[in-house]
Amino acid sequence: MPDISDRPDNVRLIDRFGRVARDLRVSVTEKCSLRCTYCMPAEGLPAIPRDDLLTATEIARLVRIGVRDLGVREVRFTGGEPLMRADLAEIIGRSAEAAPGIDLSITTNGIGLDHRIHSLVEAGLTRVNVSLDTVDREHFARLTRRDRLPAVLAGIRAAHEAEMTPLKLNAVMMRDTLRDAPDLLAWALENGCRLRFIEQMPLDADRSWLRENMVSAEELLAVLGERFTLVEAGRDDPHAPVEEWRVEGWTVGGAPATVGIIASVTRSFCAACDRTRITAEGTVRSCLFGDDETDLRGLLRGGADDAEIARWWQAAMWGKQAGHGMDAAGFAPPVRSMGAIGG
């Protein structure tokens, strides 16, 4: 275990900078039905051996420890693409039993969601975020290397019909799809979705990210402003990464419509980060940009009790770095890409 002799006697997932992790992201697979250029190589990520993946029972145990013992308040299952796990409903169901009343959500590309949404909701799913970068079919196919836009839209419709509202859409801001952004926002507003744009981070498997090629929040706002009147609304939650802008003249569900921007690069929110991550192989990752990982799978399978697992988890988060460090000289992206870490 890392040296935590200077850590105060506190059960929560605190770090040396006073942040407290309450938002748990659990990756359940490295597999995906798309090959988005900002996330995965064309051939996909190296396969994780089945026995190295956490089981549904192991995931639920970590959820229980996180919620009951460490102060976790919400859990999101990610990937890769979580719908690639045939036992996703079991993962959600066991987690709901392990931590009754906790908010359980998924981030998905939506492909196949129309066939599975009802079983997921019955298991305990409470919210859905869908990744959708453009509603231009040709651009979608080029960006994701798959012509699957109709399947994504079918998944979004199914989530609406299952009353998974407010349904949130996540769009990575890319140079190739920047001019599509107003159409995407219009589509989201017309279809009752809450859209959030995300600045592209250096987490692509192809290592092609360049800051000078990145679309910034300011550039995106200028493009959206050509068609919409936007009024800055700030953050509802100081720990939330999303800055909101009201879209004048529009409502969604009877409330003023908003569009969000997660400016991870140009408006870093690291000082307020409240996330802790578990990879599909069962390691704690305290930061997207920190390559340090603490193995909990070995403890789960080696007979450790909940208290010991909690201590290792606390130790992992105590060592969390101050920020992503993109502005520092000599910055190097993490070894793992986003698809391998879990969003």
Residue list for the binding site for [4Fe-4S] cluster: 32, 36, 39, 270, 273, 287
Closest alpha carbon to 187 in 137, 255, 254: 137
CA angle, 236 as apex, 230 and 241 as ends, to 5°? 85
Q: Are 116 and 83 in contact (CB under 8 A)?
A: yes
Side chain identity at 178, as an amino acid letter? L
Q: What is the spatial distance between Cα 38 and Cα 148, in angstroms, rounded to a whole number?
A: 17
Annotated binding residues: 25, 32, 36, 38-39, 76, 80, 107, 131, 168, 201, 270, 273, 275-277, 287
Write the CB contacts of 342 (distance below 8 Å, at least 6 apart in sequence).
25, 26, 27, 78, 79, 80, 277, 278, 279, 280
User: Which residue ranges make up the annotated binding site for GTP?
Assistant: 25, 76, 107, 168, 275-277
Q: What is the DSSP letter of 192?
A: T
b/e 52-90 (16+ beta carbons within 10 angstroms → b): ebbbbebbbbbbbbbbebbbbebbbbbbbbbbbbeebbb
Phi, psi of 68 (to 5 degrees): -70, -40
Burial (CB < 10 A; 0-12, 13-18, 19+), residue 261, is buried
CA-closest candidate to residue 76, choices 107, 100, 98, 99: 107
Residue type at position 326: M
d(CA 90, CA 86): 9
Binding-site entries for S-adenosyl-L-methionine: 38, 80, 131, 201
| The two three-digit tokens of residue 64, written as one number | 């229980």
